[in-house]
Amino acid sequence: DVICLTKTADDSYYDMCSKTILTLFESQPDIEFNLVLIESANSREDEYKSIKAGNPNNKIIYVVPGEIFGYNKFLNIGMKYTQGNDWLLIINNDLIFEPGWIDRIMESSDVRPDIDSFSPFEPDFHNRYYNGWANSEINESYTVGFGICGWCILMKKSVMDYMGSWD
């Protein structure tokens, strides 16, 4: 399951979010993604459906809550549309996914099954601001903007079972 919050205010936002969705789907063609796309601006459902048409193995559930935006509130709305898969991915609408990225995280999960959530290493960010902080394949940190970067968080479903909801 994947939850992505977006605000498609104009064509540039649509293009950015579309690139995120396409690179997600193309990055792991062996995975069937269930993407819950929560829209906080204009409805572009037909345009997002065209992305789905080109990627028939993946699912896009498009939701326009019609409420004032709240990040956690919209994540909770998205949770209602997930299918209860073993893993949940929370992403922003401005990410670019590289081929095989989930495989690399799953390898880390196999090595460290005691870790329940992962955020990928972002070389430009971590090397620029933290002087090559990542000195191994797995670096533990719970600091937002350091260990958790770019709002790309892959977590075991058990994390949400424990949390209950986003507050």
Q: How far apart are CA 143 and CA 148, in angstroms?
A: 6
The answer to whether residues 109 and 36 touch, using CB atoms and an 8 Å cutoff, is no
Sheet strands (E) in 11-137: 34-39, 59-63, 87-91, 117-118
The residue that leads in pLDDT, 25 or 149, is: 25
| CA–CA separation, 144 and 73 (whole Å) | 19
User: How large a percentage of the chain has pLDDT more than 90?
Assistant: 39
The tally of CA atoms less than 13 A away on the side-chain side of residue 94 is: 7
Give the SS3 label for residue 48: helix
Mean pLDDT, range 147-151, rounded to an integer: 61
Residue-wise pLDDT tens digits, 35-76:
999 998 877 888 888 888 888 899 999 999 988 998 999 999
pLDDT-derived band at 89, boundaries 50, 70, 90: very high
Q: Tokens for 16?
A: 């950015």
Instruction: Write out the two tokens for 102.
Output: 């989930």
